[in-house]
Homo-oligomer: A and B are copies of this chain.
Amino acid sequence: MSTQDTPSPRPGRPSTMRDPRRTICDAAAALFAAKGYDATSLQDVASAVGVTKAGLYHYFATKQDLFDTIVLAVLSDMLDWARARVDVAARPADQVAAFMAGHAAYFAANRDHYRAAFIGRGGDLYVFTPEQMAARRAYTDFLTRILEEGRAAGDFAFEDAPLVARGILGMLNWMTRWYNPTGRKGAEEIAADYASIVLKGIATD
């Protein structure tokens, strides 16, 4: 949470915050990640930021709106990280490893937002907005395309590229459930271990 940007937040005066939408999202993400969406109220978020609920409404009409914003930002940011880290001219195996390292690095650097988006809501009734759906698909497709490119180049062998992509993402996303940021291995190291297993597992030779 970047509430340190707001030394003396005045109730009902969110305009004193620097980048107020960002500050609100940071605070909300921490709450959604820990308590879950249903158990978090807009009042909790307002209190965490140091504004009134009325001040919060100025930026987000509903809790759903706030949650949707966080999920979309995570999905879009993850694609940006992948694009920034994956050299599409490199060998497909190196691209897969870079993609996985980027995913883990994003997770480690944005833990609250990531956990809010991936485990913030209990149950499976949450329906992605069309924008979120497009962002999620673009991210999965980015990995699937690398896998297919590697298969076309004769480097990889598997039947179902989207299934392999989901398996890779599962290994990484499940880290939300057990990863300890103060543990022996960092998130990128773990991703590298998984990448070496998967890459050997799908290699042609």
Contacts and interface: CB of A to CB of B under 8 A. Distances in A.
Interface residues of A, number: 46
Contact of A198 (B35, B39, B201): B201
Contact of A122 (B36, B166, B194): B36
A1 interface: no
Residues of A contacting B: mostly? helix
| Highest count of chain B CB atoms <10 Å: which of A171, A172, A198 | A171
Interface string A164-180: 10110111111111100
A122 B124 CA distance: 10
B164 A175 contact: no
A109 to B, nearest CB: 18
Contacts of A153: none
Nearest to A116: B123
A197 B115 CA distance: 27
A123 B171 contact: no
A107 B160 CA distance: 21
A39 B172 contact: no
Contacts of A167: 171, 174, 193-194, 197
Contacts of A34: 123-125
A125 B119 CA distance: 11
Contact of A163 (B121, B172, B190, B200): B190
> Which 7 A-B residue pairs are closest in the complex by CB-CB distance?
A36-B122, A170-B174, A201-B201, A36-B123, A38-B38, A197-B201, A122-B122
Given A38-B39, A200-B201, 17 more contacts: A34-B123, A35-B122, A35-B125, A36-B121, A37-B122, A39-B122, A119-B122, A158-B193, A164-B193, A166-B175, A167-B194, A170-B170, A170-B173, A170-B177, A173-B174, A197-B201, A200-B203
